[in-house]
A and B are shown apart, each in its own frame.
Chain A
Amino acid sequence: MKKGSILTPSLTVTPKTKIFRTRELPLKGEIICCVGDKVFATDIVGRASIPGDLHILRIPEKLGLTTEEVVQNLLVREQDFVQAGQIIYKYSKFFGLFRGDFKAPVDGTIELINRQNGHIGLRGKSTEVDMDAYVSGTVYSINIEKSVIIETECALVQGIFGVGGEKKGKICMLKVGRDQTVEKQDIPHEASALVLVGGATFSAEALDLAVKRGATGVITGAIDDKKLTNFLGYEIGIALTGNEDIQTTLILTEGFGKLTMSQRVFDVLSSFDGKPCSINGATQVRAGAVRPEIIVTLPKRNIHEEEDDILRLPEGVLDIGRQIRIIREPYFGRSAEVVEMPVELVKIETGAMTRVLKAKLEGGEVVVVPRSNVEIV
């Protein structure tokens, strides 16, 4: 019997840790905070001006004229600002018998005039984009005109899968057991700006109601594919999410189906019931994996008082006595304790030779499971 090797990195679930979140502008812009500033999650820390769309105006083709006719009689020059509806080209032929004009479709600036084909590039007005801090904390560093790193001491819970982007709200623990289904009646009447947490799954009606009542987030153990499809309006085929245009971010802590929310996740989130949090459902399951997250910034004084007591879970190393969850059939979702770690390869039911462990299930039964099919809880 021997200590095991590194497995799939386990998800972080901790009541106290220190993390950094990079906030990056989509284009070069202005960073409006300083290193050391204390910021709230909703504070604006950067701003960028996104250029408008470039509209290619193909006037010769539209009016049935030659390139020369258009280029020679344009009423605008490059860099001119024009307003929507402003005439930018006017023509008159055969002593005024045929006449017409071309108006700018949007407000903007004439960016280019192509003298080869008479096409005009009209750049629409730019729009200002604000970037918030996402998490409450301290500005750790700044990359001028580009990005900010926010440092925060917080509770961090990573989920296994999520949909929907960054949201903020207050944690609201539902009065439902972590192995139960959250039903319609469990959803509070006033759920606006709440992150609802609880249960092994949500019924379709409960999920629907949570959205209707304005919840910014739903955190639960699992959900089946049908409910997810109904929730999103389309089927998910690839584990690459976060850009869904939805009002409520959904985070699953355990997987698909109906799976009891782990005790640790439940305990950590329960201890912050009513506290503001930042959540993000973005998931990317491949190299550089991104998992959904729930972040609750801790009051500064608590951290200082208990700095030496920051709880860090050992990551990814199996050992006899470790509590695990089996994440593949035939014991999918079962909790167990590692009781033996054979070194040699073992032939499993499929015929494959692989490294296994022996695990004692909650009922006492000892089963053999491939090491790649368990995760530490």
Chain B
Amino acid sequence: MKTDPQTITTVLVTDCGSTTTKALLFECQKGKWRQTYRGEAPTTVEEPVADVTIGATNAFREIEEISGRKIINEKAGKNSPHPFIITTTDQSEGIDLYLSTSSAGGGLQMIVGGIVKTITTESAQRAALGAGAIVLDCISADDGRDEQTITKKIRHLKPDIMLLAGGVDGGSSKHVIELAEIILAASPRPRFGNTLKLPLVYAGNKEAVNDVKDILENIADIEVVENIRPTLEQENLKPAREAIHDLFLHHVMSHSPGYGKLLKWTPVPVMPTPSAVGDIVETYSKKHRVQVLCADIGGATTDIFSVFNNKNNEPVFNRTVSANLGMSYSIANVIVEAGTKSIARWLPFAIEQDELKGRLMNKMIRPSTIPQTKEDLWIEQAVCREALRLSLEHHRSLAVGLSGAQKQRGISDLFNQSSNRFELVDMLKLDVVIGSGGVLSHAPHRLESALMMIDGFGMKGLTQITVDSIFMMPHLGVFSTVSANGASEIFEHDCLVNIAHAIVPVYPTASIETDLAEIFIDGKSVAKIVKDDIEVIQVSQQQIELKIVPASKTINVGSGAGVELVKRINVGAHGLILDGRNKPIVHDVEEKQAERQMNIYKKLGIA
């Protein structure tokens, strides 16, 4: 297979998900990369098939049927390195390259450990999440649980990989050694391959390496990398992330059903799905120098990816996953975490709390059903808002920067240190939001997706709202490792759907102005944003110069209080959404909520 980006023109990419394997064909036509065909089939990692390549092959066959292009080499024998026809001079058949991502079998599941919850444990969590893992639990010396409780939890969870961090280089080894002892006491066994040792990445105080190895070598395969926090002010996530990727490929995936074969089909390492999504988000942010927030809301989990600038104006990537906030398998958990009232406040009709919970419980046990009535659709969209809100809260707590010099103190003082963190997520500075997952990508009306994200994220200032058309970000993420330009072209042309720009002024609650800001397009006044109101302005031009002038010194439209904002933008399909509802939205008393929501839906034309 070819991997030189200059010579490849046809690339087949799969994402092997928990339920579905999605195959996409990327082709370079007349110098432009495009996504051309799509096929999908049920993933086959479970018994009785228990071979992921069967589902992948079924997805390839669907592409063959739709495109008329021969991809599979029917004559390939058992000893062939892969089952594909490789393109030669005849460009009408075969492929140049096959790539894949995977989250089958529940994805990569990890436990991380560190000494101080808000320092090394948090860094370890960021490294694991950035590598595409679901973090099952975080253990730290100061997490308030006794050793027996932690031991039982680790043993019960059966992670794929553990990441142990703790201690700055040259500091005391005492606490990280104690953590190693707790892991020894738990002696966790890996999820796959009962006879194998648990893969463990050690990224803590380098002085403790030998002690940790002595304690854990009988129960774990230990990979030692550079310290994740060599000093309090430094965070060094890359070596740990790379080690996790490596262990994922060689210890976790290679023992999953059929993956041994799949890994041989591609010359490029198979990536965990969320890691690939993170890569394309980061690539996009870098290319356009924009601050990005991306949400992928699935059936069981919600992933949030962000790139925001730190205090030195450097872009910082973060990913979090809220493991039990989803739209089917864990939909009822959104109610448990948010409460029925929080969901009901977004509904344009009144409903009994028991009825609401009952409907969602039934969706949970029959996840493949779809809303038939508008009421049912609005309920799912209300759940989505709350899942986004809770997931962003979680993301904010972890997406933090480190700043300022900390005085080096004794290790015992470490437990009191957390002052060098600052939150990176700043909604007023956010340029682009990307929504992904069925409820956002396949909403019957694109403005419904936009409104879910405006409400759920509590968007502020000027933000471009987009959705991933058919969830191809994982495919593009792994493709970007071969051709960053090709992946970017497809991402912007075929993947991102530019819905609209939201303009949401922020103002003091006591503000008396009715008109919050005036909107100018190419120098001409076109509308005013009215307090507590929402409106959509259609724009016929594709590119405009947008000027937003706040009505008073206390109103912030994204450039600071009272400062006008001027920006050249590519106009989305639905133009501009002028949202005068202050954030966070203060909801009416319960009796009036439904009426107010219905008015909003009617104004947007989605009722």
> Hey, which bits of chain A sit against chain B, CB under 8 A?
7-8, 53-56, 58, 112, 114, 116-117, 119, 121, 160-161, 224-226, 235-240, 255-257, 283, 285-288, 327-330, 332, 348-352, 354, 369-370, 372-373, 375
Chain B residues with Cβ under 8 A from A330's Cβ? 372-373
A54 touches B184 (CB 8 A): yes
Label chain B's interface by main secondary structure: helix
What 3 pairs between A and B have smallest CB-CB spacing?
A237-B333, A351-B444, A54-B185
Contact yes or no, A369 B372, CB < 8 A: yes
Alpha-carbon separation in the docked complex, A139 to B442 (Å): 49
- Are B365 and A161 neighbours in the complex by a CB distance under 8 Å? yes
List 17 A-B pairs, Cβ < 8 Å.
A7-B368, A56-B182, A116-B177, A117-B174, A121-B181, A237-B334, A237-B335, A237-B336, A286-B367, A287-B46, A287-B104, A288-B46, A330-B372, A350-B374, A372-B369, A373-B369, A373-B372
Determine the chain B residues whose CB is within 8 A of the CB of A370 once the complex forms: 369-370, 372
- Of the candidates B151, B328, B358, B362, the one whose C-beta lies within 8 Å of that of A53 is B151
With an 8 A cutoff between CB atoms, is B466 at the interface? no
Give min CB distance, A361 to chain B, whole Å: 14
Contact of A328 (CB < 8 Å), options: B333, B371, B445: B371
Closest to A9 in B: B368
The answer for the CA separation of A354 and B371 in the assembled complex, in Å, is: 11
Whether the Cβ atoms of A352 and B442 lie closer than 8 Å is: yes
List 20 additional contacts besides A237-B334, A328-B362; criterion CB under 8 Å.
A8-B366, A56-B181, A116-B177, A121-B185, A225-B354, A237-B333, A237-B336, A238-B329, A239-B364, A239-B367, A255-B366, A285-B367, A286-B18, A287-B105, A328-B366, A328-B376, A329-B372, A349-B372, A350-B376, A370-B372
Q: In the complex, are the beta carbons of A287 and B332 less than 8 A apart?
A: no
Q: In angstroms, how far is the closest chain A Cβ from the Cβ of B373?
A: 5
Instruction: Report how far A31 CA is from B364 CA in the complex, Å.
Output: 38
Query: Once bound together, how far apart are the Cα atoms of A257 and B182, in whole Å?
Result: 45
In the assembled complex, which residues on chain B have CB atoms less than 8 Å from the CB atom of A58?
178
Residues of A within 8 A of B184 (CB): 54, 56, 112, 121
CB closest residue in chain B, given A257: B358
**B→A interface (CB under 8 Å):** 18-19, 43, 45-47, 104-105, 147-148, 151, 174, 177-178, 181-182, 184-185, 187, 211, 214-215, 299-300, 324, 328-330, 332-337, 354, 357-359, 361-362, 364-377, 442, 444-445
B contact residues around A8 at 8 Å (CB) = 366, 368
Count, A-B residue pairs, CB within 8 A? 152
Which of A53, A56, A117, A287: most chain B CB closer than 10 A?
A287
A238 near B330: Cβ-Cβ < 8 Å: yes
B362 adjacent to A332 (CB under 8 Å): yes
Residue of B nearest to A255 (CB): B362
Structural contact, B148 and A160, CB atoms closer than 8 A: no
- A116 CA / B45 CA spacing, docked (Å): 45
User: Smallest CB–CB gap between B546 and chain A, Å?
Assistant: 29
Residue of B nearest to A235 (CB): B336
Q: In the bound complex, how far is the Cα of B373 from the Cα of A348, in angstroms?
A: 8
Residues in chain B near residue A112, CB distance under 8 A:
184
Q: Which of B151, B300, B336, B366 contacts A160 (CB 8 A)?
A: B366
Given contacts A119-B181, A235-B336, A286-B299, contact A224 B354 (CB under 8 A): yes
What is the CA–CA distance of A54 and B357 in the complex, to the nearest angstrom?
Answer: 43
In whole Å, how far is B335's beta carbon from the nearest beta carbon of chain A? Answer: 7
Tell me which residues across on chain A come within 8 A of B148, comparing CB atoms: 53
Instruction: Give Cα A114 to B177, complex, Å.
Output: 10
The answer on a CB contact under 8 Å between A116 and B336 is no
Q: Please, which residue of chain A has its CB at the minimum distance from the CB of B367?
A: A285
Partner of B187 from the list A54, A240, A351, A354 (CB cut-off 8 Å) is A54
Residue of A nearest to B156 (CB): A243
A329 touches B373 (CB 8 A): yes
- In the complex, the chain B residue whose C-beta lies closest to that of A228 is B361
Tell me the complex Cα distance, A282–B328, Å: 18
Q: How far is the CA of A132 from the CA of B211 in the complex (A)?
A: 42
For residue A116, give the distance in angstroms from its CB to the closest CB of chain B: 5
In chain A, what residue has the closest Cβ to B42?
A287
Contact check, B372 vs A286: say whether CB atoms are below 8 A apart: no
Residues of A within 8 A of B19 (CB): 286-287
Q: Nearest chain B CB to A222's CB is how many angstroms away?
A: 9
* Nearest-Cβ distance from residue B302 to partner chain A, whole angstroms: 13
Say which residue of A239, A329, A348 sits within 8 Å of B359 (CB atoms).
A329
**Are A225 and B187 neighbours in the complex by a CB distance under 8 Å?**
no
**Does A256 contact B362, Cβ atoms closer than 8 Å?**
yes
A349 pairs with B177, CB closer than 8 A: no
Contact B370 A352 (CB under 8 A): yes
Q: Which residues of B contact A226 (CB under 8 A)?
A: 354
* A51 nearest in chain B by CB position: B187
Q: How far is the CA of A328 from the CA of B358 in the complex (A)?
A: 11
